[in-house]
Amino acid sequence: MKAFTNVHLPDGGSANVMIGGERIAAIGGDIPAGAETIDGQGKLLAPGIVDLGVFRVDGPAFRFGGIVRAALMPDQSPPLDDPGLIQRAAYSGKPDIWVHPLAAATRGLKGEELAEFGLMQAAGAKAVATGRRWIADSGVMLRVMRYAAAFDLTVVSHAEDSGLTGSAVATAGETATRLGLPAAPAEAEAMAIARDLALAEISGARLHVRQVTTAAGFDLIRAAKVRGLPVTCGITPAHLLLSDLAVSDFRTFAHLSPPLRSEADRHAALEAVRDGTIDVIASGHDPRGPEDKRLPFADSAAGAAGAETLLALSLNLVRDGVIALERLFELIAANPSRLLGLEGGRLEPGAPADLILVDQDAPWRVDSGRMRAAAGNTPFDKLPVQGRVLRLFKDGREIA
């Protein structure tokens, strides 16, 4: 038996938290005799982060960022479209990190033929994902959703109408025009969401739009939730904190997919966090080295290393009064866990003892040259942030 004492909890309270074996035994009450006591020194004890949608299993970055479980996108080499690959991916982080692979919705992620969801689910896949791209063929997407619904698998989609986006690397507007970058209208997102919502309605599938980044997109999700559709959506801190002005000077670290949007869309994203439209905040962790990033902007790969900065950047939302601390941990732990059908992500007796001890105020500076991640491609280079994971426990066992 272990017992955390002198900690405060996301709901603002403070209580002793007892761990029995791999699970939380009790919250509150006296420390049992003989228990090993861990003095939290007044810091925050919270559920370990469940990161819905990473592109690489990156232990050191996850450890630093307080991520105990990560849903791995199927965009691997080769794509996760086969039960054997799913099984191997599911073991790739153990024992320290649990990797929950997302099954490719179509073979080779080509958007044409259904992949073997059933067998992949049996091999450990927790959801089905379209990958980095949208499935352009609506007939294929409908079959994906119907088939996934039968296996009770959530479909995780990427929402950008590929006909509109083409080879675009930026959002159409003043910045892209000044820089001469191929750009697509932000409406490409709402068009994709509208279609996928219609298909979700026909098929009865649970739909999770991994990243929604525009006001029009949020409006559609909001309305669908009111209608009672089983739809959820997520975002990464980049789209909450940055607009497309960040790509000025051709900074390839700010080349993301979907691309950064206008300041008005960024404000709409903050509002969507505030009003509950957004269910998940994830890192989108996608470390990319110089061979992918030290290139002319349009030739560079999209993506950012986000695992280390997810918690500290998200804590800004609490400090700025957008959401309460308790809600933040729903967004980064409880909700993604529930979406994937996992047990973790909650502070309650019986839940796995996946816990992080956090100093919310500890200041540090993001430095792309000194990241734990496999590569330092962060659009937040040199940004001073606050909030650091002091200790991390997986199934009651401390991970160094």
Partner 1 sequence: MSDARMFPHRHLLGIAGLQPHEIGFLLDEAEQWVELNRATSKHDDRLRGLTLINAFFENSTRTLLSFEIAGKRLGADVVNMHAAQSSVKKGETLIDTAMTLNAMRADMLVIRHASSGAVRLIADKVDCPVLNAGDGRHEHPTQALLDALTIRRRKGRVHGLTVAICGDVLHSRVARSNILCLTSLGADVRVVGPPTLIPAGIEQLGVATFTDFDAGLDGADVVMMLRLQMERMTGGFVPSLREYHAFWGLTPERLARAAPDALVMHPGPMNRGVEIASAIADDPDRSAITEQVEMGVAVRMACLDVLTRRRRGVEGWA
Among 299, 343, 348, 361, binds partner 1 (CB under 8 A): 299
CA angle (250, 255, 258) in 5-degree steps: 140
- Residue from the set 34, 139, 296, 369 that interacts with partner 1 by CB under 8 A: 296
Contact 118, 144 (CB under 8 A): no
Q: Which stretch binds partner 1 (CB under 8 A): 5-13, 40-48, 227-235, 295-303?
A: 295-303
Distances in Å between the Cα of 155 and the Cα atoms of 106, 120, 151, 200 are 12, 14, 11, 9
Can residue 264 be called a binding residue for partner 1 (CB under 8 A)?
no
Q: Compute the least distance from the CB of residue 265 to partner 1, in Å.
A: 14
Question: Both tokens of residue 189?
Answer: 């997102």
Is residue 337 a contact point for partner 1 (CB under 8 A)?
A: no
What CA–CA distances, in Å, run from 228 to 106, 192, 206, 232, 385? 27, 19, 11, 11, 38
Question: Is 295 an interacting residue with respect to partner 1 (CB under 8 A)?
Answer: yes
- Residues of this chain, 104-133, that bind partner 1 according to CB under 8 A: none
Name the minimum Å distance from CB 186 to partner 1: 10
Tell me the one-letter amino acid at 192. Answer: A
When asked if residue 17 is in the footprint of partner 1 (CB under 8 A), the reply is: no
CB 103 within 8 A of CB 80: yes
- Is 114 or 301 the residue whose CB approaches partner 1 more closely? 301
Task: Show the site string, 138-177: x = touches partner 1 by CB under 8 A, - = not.
Answer: ----------------------------------xxxxxx
Q: Answer yes or no: are the C-beta atoms of 208 and 157 closer than 8 Å.
A: yes
Q: Is 216 in the site for partner 1 (CB under 8 A)?
A: no
Q: How far apart are alpha carbons 326 and 11 in whole angstroms? A: 5
Tell me if 178 contacts partner 1 by CB under 8 A: yes
Choose among 213, 228, 221, 171: nearest CA to 196: 221
Would you give the DSSP letter of residue 155?
Answer: E
Which of residues 181 and 318 has its CB atom nearest to partner 1 in the complex? 181
Stretch that binds partner 1, among 104-112, 119-127, 286-294, 381-389 (CB under 8 A): 286-294
Dist CA 200 CA 38 (whole Å): 47
**Out of 5, 114, 201, 250, the residue judged to bind partner 1 by CB under 8 A:** 250
Binding site for partner 1 (CB under 8 A): 172-183, 185, 249-250, 290-292, 294-300
